[in-house]
Amino acid sequence: MKAHKLFWILVLTIINSNIWAYGGSSSSSQKACAKPRFTEFVPAEKAEMAAQSAFSFTASPNTNPDSIKVAIKDQPVDVKVTPKAQGFQVSGTLPDKLKGGYARININAEGHNKCKGSGGWLVKIAE
């Protein structure tokens, strides 16, 4: 009977040590992905604006300014990127071909660690 109990204690000890061996480390050699964020949209969400009107937003400090791309209804839009205290001020104008309806200002950019971020907002285009 003693040999039987000793056998099971040995088996459980081996299994238990193997389970602990699979535990992950709290430190990692890779940094977490920090995606760029976009805030302070002007004009506000669903505001009405005419074609060729100006718009702007703020990109977070971890954004690579050269990677910022803006498109409206699948049309690329040229933007001006200016450094500011808490990130980058990005400004541009709506394309002149937009007439009536709604359009989404789509933003795509990469962070310094190559993480991709996207955002945007909806505006109403005046007739």
pTM score: 0.73
Sheet of 116-125: strand order equals 48-49, 116-125, 102-110, 69-72, 75-77
CA–CA dist 16, 25 (Å, integer): 18
Each domain of the chain, given as residue ranges in start order, spans 38-125
CA 8 to each of CA 1, 15, 16, 120: distance values in angstroms, whole numbers, following the listed order: 11, 11, 12, 61
Poorest-pLDDT segment among 10-24, 56-70, 97-111: 10-24
Q: Which residue has the higher pLDDT, 31 or 50?
A: 50
* pLDDT at residue 14 in the model: 79
Which amino acid would we find at residue 37? R
Bridge partners, residue 87, by sequence? 84
Tell me how far apart the alpha carbons of residues 36 and 48 are, in angstroms, rounded to a whole number.
27
Q: Between 12 and 67, where is the model more confident?
A: 67
Task: Give tens-digit pLDDT for 87-100.
Answer: 999 999 999 888 88
Instruction: Select 38-125's CATH number: 3.60.15.10, 2.60.40.1220, 2.60.40.1180, 2.40.340.10.
Output: 2.60.40.1220
